[in-house]
Structure 1
């Protein structure tokens, strides 16, 4: 079982393998239309999301899998006080993996301790957003070939912006950024 909570948990070798697979899927999507046939993604979005939520759902369906879950915690038992532990324990009985966005820092890490299936962190508070960093790095590497010797400007909410935090931490793996 492999969670994606924080990209610092991946070695550069693991990241490079993931990048190669991602590039192959982008270049030859027809070869992956059944890659997730029979698999179910549990999608748990405890806070609003349009792009991230739809990108995961669409990707899973394009890979031949299906999606269950919620995009509004008020439509789940969380509205009645169900704990994160109870929700994750229950959903991991139905899904083969869980993607989760939560407004609380560390929620994805906590979920990984209760889950019987891999947890993918789609944003936890102002902490991290590793899947956005994977998308950003895919764009950078496909356009430039490397992130070495790159100058990058970051703007927006630099203190609470989870996308910025994840990207900065990951770019530290490259030379002269």
Structure 2
């Protein structure tokens, strides 16, 4: 039995298999409409989610399976003090596979330690979000045609953004990857990620504080929200926030085939005028999340058709 807690739980070969299967699902969705008939997924979401929870549920329903679970800790026995370990022991009797989101880093790993069904980490604190990473990789592979030889810019909250951390961990395993890290000083990537992941894998990178100056060199721009609540004072936020709002003027500086990605939800970091630009693929990215989760569920359940 295999779990998915971190993007590193999957080898490059396994990643490629899942992405290839997801692309096959995109081409022939009806072919896979009954492969999980009789199977159930439990979605255990201890914190709010729209896209991730609903895409897991849509994925299983598209495969012919069914769904059970809860959408907040308040609606579960966690509100009574039940531990993650006890919850997963019980859920293992009800479902065939589980997707868990939890505000505490490491909680899905605890669940995996006690589970008799596959556990998928659907986001744990600021740590990992491996299925968003699969979604991001599928978006890049399907729209750019490759996962190597890319200059990827990450912009916004690089310190607390689990989607950023997970995608960096995944991309360092491909050839000719370059990173451009665009953030205020207060939200730079954690030291461990810079030293133990980027530098130890000899990935070229640079850190900048202004988006405009690096736009022309990017193949991918991965936007995230600059979080006002992370700043120590209002003045610093006001001083820096406009440097990280993507608008039509900044898009004029970019390559004609650059992709703009965002894990969503968006607040104001991408102006709505950018939505009309063919390079803005964040809503397509959300759609791909269903297909890649369908492929992942199939792989972890080892159902026919994989």
- The TM-score bracket by the shorter chain reads over 0.9
**Displacement after TM superposition at 1:115 (Å):** 0.3
Q: Find the aligned partners of 1:60 and 1:163 in 2 and give their Cα distance.
A: 23
State the alpha-carbon separation in 2 of the partners of residues 52 and 40 from structure 1. 17
2:235 corresponding residue in structure 1: none
Counterpart for residue 121 of structure 2: 121
- What TM-score do the two structures reach when normalised by structure 1? 0.98
Q: What's the secondary structure of 2:150's corresponding residue?
A: coil
Provide the C-alpha distance between the structure 1 equivalents of 2:100 and 2:59, rounded to a whole number of angstroms: 15
The separation in 2 between residues aligned to 1:58 and 1:156, in whole angstroms, is 30
Q: Which has the larger radius of gyration?
A: 2
Cα offsets for 1:72-126 (capped at 9, x unmatched)? 1111111100110010100011010000000011111111001000000110000
Q: Which has the higher contact order (CA 8 A, sep 6+)?
A: 1
| Distance apart, 1:156 and its partner CA | 2.4
1:46 equivalent in structure 2: 46
Mapped to 2, the partners of 1:5 and 1:118 lie a distance apart of 10
Cα separation, 2, equivalents of 1:90 and 1:40: 14
CA drift at 1:147: 1.8
Residue 146 of structure 2 corresponds to which residue in structure 1? Answer: 146
For 1:101, what is the secondary structure of its paired residue? Answer: strand
Structure 1: unaligned runs, 5 residues or longer? none
Identify unmatched segments of 5+ residues in structure 2.
178-306
Q: Is the partner of 1:99 in helix, strand or coil? A: strand
Q: State the 1:141 CA deviation.
A: 0.4
Question: Which moves more between the two structures, 118-127 or 17-26?
Answer: 17-26
Partners of 2:28 and 2:123 in 1: how far apart?
28
Counterpart of 1:70? 70
Q: Which residue of 2 aligns with 1:9?
A: 9
What stretches of structure 1 move > 2 A for 4+ residues in a row? none
- Give the aligned length: 177
What do the CA deviations read for 1:135-156 (whole angstroms, capped 9, x no partner)?
A: 0000100112212110111112
Question: What secondary structure does 2:43 align onto?
Answer: strand
